[in-house]
A and B are shown apart, each in its own frame.
Chain A
Amino acid sequence: MPTVIILGANAGIGRALAAEFASHHYDLILSGRDREELVMVAADLSLRHKVSARPLTADIGKTEVLQSAMEECLNAAGEALEGFVLCAGYLGNPETAKKDLSEVRRILEINFTGSVLALEIAAKHFEQKRRGFICALSSVAGDRGRQSNYLYGSAKGGLTTYLQGLRNRLYRSGVHVITIKPGFVDTRMVFGKGKGPLTASPERAATDIFRAIKKHKDVVYVPWFWRIIMLVVRKIPESVFKRLRM
């Protein structure tokens, strides 16, 4: 069976996406920081969908060991490897970040530096294979900086730009790169933040992402209506935008 690696599969969109792949008969390599949780998610998905699911630990915040952790995942998947999905991310706390530069650093490192390093390692592997896909979860927050989450947003904006370049680089090797820009998805990042009717379930997000991968899309908003919302948000002149409380 085809195999997919999901980094950040413990919870949220990553876990739901792992379930979506499993329901389409993919074997899984599930990776993330918390091994105990990964073991439970792996047991769950293999019982529900009768696929093989292997938990392997990886921390994109630990750049020294990221290479070996990523290689372990890539090797474990072997020949059947079809794709790599990066779901790990860190919203951080903007208030803490105002007082504490280490929070600023953490937001940037997880969402940009660590993410890019993981993707570079995957890119090299797929480039040699000359097939497969790389999918990464960026965010609508990267489309325009605003006061409430511009650290996170700028890291995601950087990630989006990185993914454009990577897509361009891997095109000739037949490796497909997909950028996902979720809006509000009902995970720990959003729960209790009063986002209401615009919020999609992780399962809905996962279905959309799976479809985007299958259809070889390049950049996809999840759910789709965020493309329109962000089009409008991007069109607001900076002289007006800077006055808004967003």
Chain B
Amino acid sequence: MNPATSTQKLSGWGRFRTGSCHVFRPEKRSEVAAALASGEQSTYIPRGLGRSYGDASLNENGGVIWPIRLNRFLSFDDSTGEIECESGVSLAEILEFFLPRGWFLPVSPGTKFVTVGGAIAADIHGKNHHRDGTFSNFVQSLELLTPAGELLRCTPANNSEIFWATAGGMGLTGVILSARLRLRQVDSTNVFVDYYKAVNLEDALDKMETSDARYDYSVAWIDALSTGKALGRCILMSGNHAPASELPSRARKLPPGTGNGAAVSTRPKWNLLADFPSGTLNQLTVKAFNAVYYAIHSTAPRQLVSFEKFFYPLDAIDNWNRMYGKDGFVQYQIALPQASGREGLRVVLDRLARSGCASFLAVLKRFGEAGPGLLSFPLHGYTLALDIPVRRGLIPFLHELDRMTLDHGGRVYLAKDAVLRPEDFAAMYPKLDSFRSIQRRLDPKRLFSSSLARRLKILD
């Protein structure tokens, strides 16, 4: 049976890139292949929860396969934490049902409202990248329905080329139907966090370099509007899962294996029902916010923080992206290599601060070794992520930052990108040619494409 379809105007999470797409929502697994074989659209791209910021899961005037109802858990091994599930399962669902049994995500992005399919396709990273690498490191196998309609089981050992083209491949190698993942055992839902108030970029990076190895998780919130001597001042947050034995008695413990842990609610507490007026987040308000945020935090060791607050602070508010008004915003995230990273960060932050671009909640972190994903983003070094409201002149400004990034051997994250140009993209991703040749083999009829792929000429 063909899946139900609907023509919709879709956007990425930044609500800046939009497109009218023909959405197929399969209710059954067999309907994915039926949609691809239907001949109804000339190209298709999968979509998960639409948390990529730009146009990765858009296909303007083309087909979008939305396997959000293919969200079934297929197996779980209590002794190893191995879980097999369909690609439409969200990380929130994994937490809801498996955290009470003592199992946590091996890698968490800044929101739990992403699907397993989206997590693999963007090969996402978390605050533990310096230690554990990306999400795909914990994917033991995946089932891929290729554009040609073949069902392939790929593991890092079998069909490994296809596996590493798919991990980070932004949906262009086919539809991931299911995956087998390894979860991480924990015995509480809390994290012990050490806060460190860094006076500037150097201070923060020195601290990270010397202390990151002691923490599972490490991230810095950076005041991107500070200048001069304070350039890059930030609050460094480093944490480890709190062992149950060290928790105060009132804190919640998880009895591993018994599955008697209290329920974990994953629903947002608030919902932003309407757009803020455009321009609400301007240089003035953001500067004030940043100053207050920096001022109220101080260096403090061993604070007990809930996992929700530590990993997903923004998830408490549904549709928080409306805060940026109807024009939307761009998330600009770059990775810079270790060797030239410090210099690169300084140049970019300095340019940003001088531009007066109001970036609120800029995030800085160290990356560990890069993985084998052909289009994966992380590079051994540093990453900086900035949320910037859309305004006139933004695109040329970001192109300027692209150039600086490139000059320092860095790259832009495709899951966030909305403005990159094809020539800069190609220069940033040296394994692009290998990706293209594998993609072409899987998709001889050129059935897969996305707005992102066309904008960046990924498949040309």
Contact = CB atoms under 8 A, between A and B. Distances in A.
- B and A form one assembly: yes
Given A191-B4, A192-B4, A192-B5, A11 B72 contact: no
Contact of B27 (A12, A48, A50, A192): A12
B28 A48 contact: no
Contacts of A120: none
B73 A188 contact: no
Given A11-B69, A188-B3, A43 B27 contact: no
B354 to A, nearest CB: 46
A47 B29 contact: no
A187 interface: yes
B6 interface: yes
A11, A50, A188 — most chain B CB neighbours (10 Å): A188
A72 interface: no
A40 B74 contact: yes
Interface in B76-102: 76, 86, 97
Contacts of A71: none
A201 B25 CA distance: 14
Nearest to A40: B72
Nearest to A193: B6
A10 B73 contact: no
Contacts of A41: 72
A43 B73 CA distance: 7
B7 interface: yes
Nearest to A49: B97
Interface residues of A, number: 19
Contacts of B210: none
Interface residues of B, number: 20
Interface string A34-68: 10110011011001101000000000000000000
Contacts of A43: 72-75
Contacts of A10: 27-28
B302 to A, nearest CB: 35
A191 B73 contact: no
A47 B6 contact: no
A10 B28 CA distance: 8
Interface string B194-224: 0000000000000000000000000000000
Contacts of A191: 4-6, 25
A48 B6 contact: no
Most buried by A among B25, B28, B72, B259: B72
Contacts of A192: 4-7, 23
Contacts of B30: 36
Nearest to A41: B72
Most chain A CB within 10 A, of B27, B86, B97, is at: B27
Interface in B1-54: 3-7, 23, 25, 27-30
A181 B323 CA distance: 39
Given A11-B27, A40-B29, A192-B6, 20 more contacts: A10-B27, A10-B28, A11-B28, A11-B69, A12-B27, A34-B28, A36-B30, A41-B72, A43-B72, A43-B75, A44-B73, A44-B74, A47-B74, A47-B76, A50-B259, A188-B4, A188-B25, A191-B5, A191-B6, A192-B4
- A-B pairs with the 9 shortest C-beta distances? A192-B6, A44-B72, A191-B4, A11-B27, A188-B4, A47-B73, A40-B72, A44-B73, A48-B97
28 contacts: A10-B27, A10-B28, A11-B27, A11-B28, A11-B69, A36-B29, A37-B28, A37-B29, A40-B29, A40-B72, A40-B74, A40-B86, A41-B72, A43-B72, A43-B75, A44-B74, A47-B73, A47-B74, A47-B75, A47-B76, A48-B73, A48-B97, A188-B4, A189-B4, A191-B4, A192-B6, A192-B7, A193-B6
